Amino acid sequence: MENNNPTNDQLAQECFFEGLNEFWRGQYKKAVEHYKESVKYKPDNAFVYYNMGIAYIAWKIRFKTAIECFGKAIKSFKKAIKLNPDYADAYFKMGIAYQKLNGQYDKAIECYKKAVKLKPDYADAYFNMGIAYYVWKGQYEKTIECFEKTIELKPDYADAYFNMGIAYRNWNGQYLKAIECFEKVVELNPDSAKAYFNMGIAYRNWNGQYEQAIECYKKVVELKPDLAEAYFNMGIAYSDWDGQYKKAAKCFREAIKLKPDYADAYFNMGVVYHNWGGQYKLAIKRFNKVIELKPDSADAYYNMGVAYYYLKKQYEKSIECFEKAVEYKPDFADAYFNMGEVYSKMKQQYEKTIECWQKVVELNPNSAEAYFNMGVAYGKKGDEKQGIDYIKIAAQLGDKDAKKWLKENGYW
């Protein structure tokens, strides 16, 4: 009599394919359940454990916690590797899980190394290893070696060129090499806005190649008209390129139009108005907007203080701003310095002036100008001896005004 009962192998295969179907439908929990049923019937199937690990990774957004999810994925991959020690893909996927599990990049790298040892032409493993080296303590040299190997195996690997460009840019500012990488990306993918964007950054930082940078940003907004950051960076480039403030302001306005809460764009527009014919009222308006968006912006308070100083010598408002700047950034030496300058312009404010200069030299002991100004303030206060001592320190630090004053007054 014929036995029509399915075998364990058949049941395992049936459960596995049901799991695959659920996986492709995005039902990762159900996929895992089917895979678990499959290995009950056939516990030695490494491929099922491998797919279970992939399902756990994909299921992360619906799991209790991503950490628990990746942990279960790693257990599944380890089970697959125990059954099949030469399973390169399982090592590769386990590396991904380790990267995502609280950034365990050292363990991820070990997995990728194992994967390429088993499968020397594994381009994706070299690529991921490069990413891991980059994020883990910024090991740029090893990062680039991995990306170069990736490209050797797969010459049209645009993402490898892109990330190698990022690594070169951040590794002691090797901007020319970075640009070459980004150029290769757009050769492979002419619509890569991110490559043009990062090429623009590299050009701007490479000996101030502002014109080339702007051309890159123009290409970005052509490809992605709603990218506020492209207009912002273009504005920075125009501002730095012979002070083309009108064009810079226009770019910042476009950035704000796309991203109304773009504090950095308001801040740089304020700087532009300050430098563009001294439009201090407009500058102050923009800095106030920055503070509205970022109440603890020491830089916004600082620049507003400078603007108030030049706007009809509004000393009190200027000092209020500098005080706010040092409240949020206690080591802001420039804010103390400028506050000292403002107090020095006010009548009989010698003590406060000196306090500011003392704070500057406390934060920056080599500030010759602060020592000189403090010496002058002590002199005006009537403490000539103390004043001369500070001016001598300024001269020793190389301050030309201090040396000149000491010579003119017979102390040098």
pLDDT at position 65, please? 63
Neighbours of 260 (CB within 10 A): 11
The lowest-confidence range among 92-96, 104-108, 241-245, 261-265 is 241-245
Same CATH fold, 156-242 and 1-153?
yes
In the predicted model, is pLDDT for residue 64 greater than 70?
no
User: CA angle 24-25-27, nearest 5°?
Assistant: 105
| 50: CB partners within 8 A, 6+ apart | 76, 77, 80, 87, 89, 90, 93
The lowest-confidence range among 52-56, 57-61, 148-152, 160-164 is 57-61
The lowest-confidence range among 96-100, 110-114, 285-289 is 96-100
Question: For the chain, which residues make up each domain, given as ranges?
Answer: 1-153, 156-242
% the chain with pLDDT above 90: 84
pLDDT at position 347, please? 81
Exposed, middle or buried: residue 407 (CB in 10 Å: 0-12, 13-18, 19+)? exposed
Are 288 and 312 in contact, with CB atoms under 8 Å apart? no
In the predicted model, is pLDDT for residue 173 greater than 90?
no
Mean pLDDT of 56-85: 84
User: Across 105-221, where does the E strand assignment appear?
Assistant: none
pLDDT at position 41, please? 93
Q: Per-residue pLDDT tens for 239-266?
A: 998 889 999 999 999 999 999 999 999 9
Label residue 313 by pLDDT band (50, 70, 90). confident
Mean pLDDT of 2-7: 69
Token pair 């730095």 in the structure block, residue = 240
In the predicted model, is pLDDT for residue 281 greater than 50?
yes
| 198: CB partners within 8 A, 6+ apart | 162, 165, 166, 169, 178, 182
CA distances 386 to 80, 380, 383, Å, are: 78, 11, 6
Multiple choice CATH, 156-242, 1.25.40.10, 1.10.287.10, 2.40.50.140, 3.60.21.10: 1.25.40.10
- Candidates 86, 87, 97; CA nearest to 59 is 97
Mean pLDDT of 362-383: 92
User: 228-240 vs 245-258: helix axis angle to the nearest 10?
Assistant: 170
Among 99-103, 310-314, 363-367, the range of highest mean pLDDT: 363-367
Mean pLDDT of 388-394: 93
CA distances 111 to 69, 229, 344, Å, are: 18, 36, 64
Q: Per-residue pLDDT tens for 177-223?
A: 999 999 999 999 999 999 999 999 999 999 889 999 999 999 999 99
- Candidates 182, 186, 184; CA nearest to 198 is 182
Q: Per-residue pLDDT tens for 17-36?
A: 999 999 999 999 899 999 99
pLDDT at position 115, please? 98
CA distances 3 to 6, 41, 78, 362, Å, are: 8, 18, 37, 92
In the predicted model, is pLDDT for residue 68 greater than 90?
no
Q: Transcribe 313-352 into DSSP letters.
A: T-HHHHHHHHHHHHHH-TT-HHHHHHHHHHHHHSTT-HHH
pLDDT at position 4, please? 63
Label residue 1 by pLDDT band (50, 70, 90). very low
DSSP structure class, residue 259: -
* 6 Rama class: left (phi>0) / alpha (psi -120 to 50) / beta: beta
Multiple choice CATH, 1-153, 1.10.3720.10, 1.25.40.10, 3.20.19.10, 3.40.630.10: 1.25.40.10
Q: Per-residue pLDDT tens for 324-358?
A: 999 999 999 999 999 999 999 988 788 999 999 99
Cα distance between residue 245 and residue 193, in whole Å = 25
pLDDT at position 62, please? 54
Higher pLDDT, 4 or 175: 175
Q: Which two tokens stand for residue 50?
A: 């491998």
Cα distance between residue 159 and residue 161, in whole Å = 5
Mean pLDDT of 220-241: 96
pLDDT at position 409, please? 87
pLDDT at position 174, please? 93
Token pair 């029509």 in the structure block, residue = 4
Are 49 and 80 in contact, with CB atoms under 8 Å apart? yes
Label residue 3 by pLDDT band (50, 70, 90). low
Neighbours of 187 (CB within 10 A): 13
